[in-house]
Amino acid sequence: MMSAVPTARRLGALLLPVAATLLLGGCAILQEFKPSVAVKPMTAGEYITLKRGDILTTGELSIATRQTIEVAGLDAGQCAKPSVDCIDALREVSGISGERRLSALSELWLQQAIALPAAPPRKAGPGAVQAAADARLQAWMEAARHAYAYLFFSARTPGERAFEDRQTQVRDYYNHAVEEAITLLFEDRARDAPGSDASGTFHPAGWTLRMDLSRVRLPEGTQLPRELTPASSLSFQGLRSTYRRDGFGAELVAVLEDDPVTTVLPEADTAEADVGPPHRRPRAPAWSEMPSPSLTVLFQFDGDDLDAILATRAVRVSVHDPYIDSSITLHGQEVPLAANFTAGYGLWLARSGFNMQSLRTLFGRERGIDHPHLYMLQPYDPQRRIILMLHGLASSPEAWVNVANEVMGDEALRQNFQVWQVYYPTNMPIVLNHAAIRRLTASALDHFDPTGQAPASHDMVLIGHSMGGVIARLMVSSSDQQLWDWALAAHDIDPARLAEVRPRIDPMLHFDAFPNVERAIFIAAPHRGTDVADHRLGRLIARLVRLPLTVLEGVDEALTTVVGGKDGADGGHLGNSIDNLSARDPFVRAAADLPISPQVHYNSIIARTNPDVPLLDSSDGLVPYRSAHLDGADSEKIITSGHSVQETAQAILEIRRILHEDLAAHAAAAGDTEAVREATGAEAGFP
């Protein structure tokens, strides 16, 4: 009888090869005992990043595109890098919904465009430069085309996908692709690249693009911008907020020209140009529109169905003014237009050079200004009322940097107002600046609205800070004989001489309230002067202030004789702006008592540095409360701040409140209850 041990050994020897075979060849059987899906914890932030990250935000393809690639059975590793082969394969594969295919193709073309070099090697010839530009343009156009097809020619409408992250991503692909393509096209035109004609039709890289500028009005004499800058490429310091509107289209800034006032001819050019003495600019125009307006650009691909859109090489390029167009109808869908209301304004201020020029002006140095200039912060719109802003001493439009931005960032105010700003030489006497600003404003209104019938010519709002507030008060006041009494009180003027100069001087001293103004907002305005102007430092600065030679030549001894003092060596002295801010200045005393038109509503915003000081004894460091206060104001807002109170958040909120209240009053008078609700509703922030 065989023993049990040898038998077991022989059996083990026989089973060993079988077990080895099962272990080596039957891994799937054993794997069935493991979970096929594992769970990995994920934070909310990681989830959102995974869901919303894409080629624009992370530099990698979105999870939606990667999943489409995997479902299509394509090589995910190959498609993770820019690959035209991957694009072609995805275009041909079957069994994928149109939405998934089109959105993925748009992102893959975007990936391709981003990866293409901006320029060929330095030694490459002109042909290579153009070929590189054409390749990039082709990729941007395809990214825009497939996004456009997804949005308007896939199974569902944009409204049916309104809350989907994927639609937001694809809209961003379209907007970015259009932004890059139009910028590239503009650079080609600037290089006089082949493929464009005088009619506004371009033929780059086998495409036909028809420019439609019918929805924008460029300033007179302007054909095309000098520079086109994507708003997304601009980031600003000094502006609290960037105001945008989410929507469809590329947000751009069109730089039309240099600022006509702050631009100085290079020294090398002045000798050849007929511009007078060195460093003297040609006289700037009386007014100018924003030299860097914001635009919104769309590519509308020709075709009425998906096949036509994917086959076309013809595109209508429509350009829109975001202040005028807030939406557009495309293929039966009402689509909001993207807009950036801050970028153009910020770029203008950043390049202006106002800060140094305003100081040169105050001290009468070269390259200052000698007459007021009117800036329109958007192309003139006859349907929008005007807010006219007047800055203070040694200042410029930079004084309103956040005020104007916050006002125009308010949807209700933007729809009803347009902002004008006066830049004036703050070294000149107030009496001269007031007269010049009156003439300038009236001339601009007459130019743009000769009949005076447009809403823009009526119910203006003046906002003046510091000395600008004093000028604003003069604009809404009337002077019969009061200023003549001031001018003649201390002077023994020969009657014959007075009769000779009176016609020239009378418009400066005898006037009615400017007829187009409905409201004025005075901010830290020294209506009755300030003692600071009489302090040692104030007098020192006043002695350094010099009037422009052109002004002295223009008014000659006539104005000096009538309104000057007798402290000059020549027996007459035309006081400057700091003289006029003294609480003891006769002109300020006379002007403070001029009656404000009963037709004008007015509000005061007053600052005080120390809230513990009794209000009547308080000051903002320069202007005492007693000087800034006006009886009869619709409202008076006291803010703890220094003299530059206009830039504080509290002051801007108060300005917006006043303007909303003004809109509501106008709407109520017109019986427009819906407009009243919009002006005062919760969406405006003023219940």
CA separation for the pair 636, 639 (Å, rounded): 10
Residue 326 identity (one-letter amino acid): S
Predicted pLDDT at 683: 47
Q: What is the mean pLDDT of residues 22-34?
A: 57
Judged against a pLDDT cut of 90, whether residue 418 lies above it is answered with yes
Judged against a pLDDT cut of 50, whether residue 572 lies above it is answered with no
Predicted pLDDT at 222: 72
Query: In angstroms, what CA-CA distances link 638 with 407, 604, 605?
Result: 20, 9, 6
Name the average pLDDT for the chain. Answer: 84
**Element holding 558 (H helix, E strand):** helix 549-563
Interhelix angle 165-190/126-153, rounded to 10 degrees, is 150
Q: Which comes out higher in pLDDT, residue 114 or 671?
A: 114
Q: What is the mean pLDDT of residues 10-34?
A: 58
Judged against a pLDDT cut of 70, whether residue 55 lies above it is answered with yes
Query: In angstroms, what CA-CA distances link 184 with 180, 336, 375?
Result: 6, 25, 30
Predicted pLDDT at 568: 38
Predicted pLDDT at 492: 66
Residues 6+ apart with CB under 8 A from 101: 68, 90, 91
Predicted pLDDT at 517: 97
CA separation for the pair 157, 437 (Å, rounded): 53
Give the pLDDT confidence of 243-292 residue by residue, as tens digits.
999 999 999 999 988 888 887 434 333 333 333 344 444 566 799 988 89
CB-hemisphere CA count at 13 Å for 376? Answer: 23
Predicted pLDDT at 468: 96
**Element holding 421 (H helix, E strand):** strand 417-423
Report the percent of the chain where pLDDT is more than 90. 57
> Worst-scoring range by mean pLDDT, 38-42, 45-49, 321-325, 524-528?
45-49
Give the pLDDT confidence of 457-506 residue by residue, as tens digits.
999 999 999 999 999 999 999 999 888 887 777 566 677 777 777 787 88
Judged against a pLDDT cut of 90, whether residue 242 lies above it is answered with yes
Read off the pLDDT band of 354 (50, 70, 90): confident
Predicted pLDDT at 49: 82
Judged against a pLDDT cut of 60, whether residue 543 lies above it is answered with no
Q: What is the mean pLDDT of residues 610-615?
A: 96
Predicted pLDDT at 427: 81
Q: What is the mean pLDDT of residues 57-76?
A: 94
Predicted pLDDT at 500: 75
CA separation for the pair 546, 530 (Å, rounded): 21
CA separation for the pair 456, 449 (Å, rounded): 8
Judged against a pLDDT cut of 80, whether residue 614 lies above it is answered with yes
Domains in the chain: ranges and CATH: 48-264+283-340 (no CATH), 353-473+524-551+597-684 (3.40.50.1820)
Judged against a pLDDT cut of 70, whether residue 17 lies above it is answered with no
Predicted pLDDT at 133: 87
Residues, the chain, total?
A: 687
Predicted pLDDT at 200: 74
Q: What is the mean pLDDT of residues 300-326?
A: 96
| Three-class SS state of 36 | coil
| Three-class SS state of 567 | coil
CA separation for the pair 64, 107 (Å, rounded): 10
> Worst-scoring range by mean pLDDT, 187-201, 287-301, 627-641?
187-201
Q: Is residue 452 within 8 Å of residue 405, measured between CB atoms?
A: no
Q: ∠572-578-581 over CA atoms, to 5°?
A: 105
Q: Is residue 605 within 8 Å of residue 653, measured between CB atoms?
A: no
Distance of CA 64 to the CA centre of its chain: 35
Q: Which comes out higher in pLDDT, residue 216 or 555?
A: 216
Predicted pLDDT at 271: 38
- 327 has which bridge partners? 336
Q: Is residue 533 within 8 Å of residue 643, measured between CB atoms?
A: no
> Worst-scoring range by mean pLDDT, 21-25, 233-237, 293-297?
21-25
CA separation for the pair 209, 189 (Å, rounded): 13
CA separation for the pair 667, 566 (Å, rounded): 53
Read off the pLDDT band of 32 (50, 70, 90): low
CA separation for the pair 396, 404 (Å, rounded): 13
> Worst-scoring range by mean pLDDT, 36-45, 280-289, 292-301, 601-610?
280-289
Read off the pLDDT band of 583 (50, 70, 90): confident
Structure tokens, 229:
């800058």
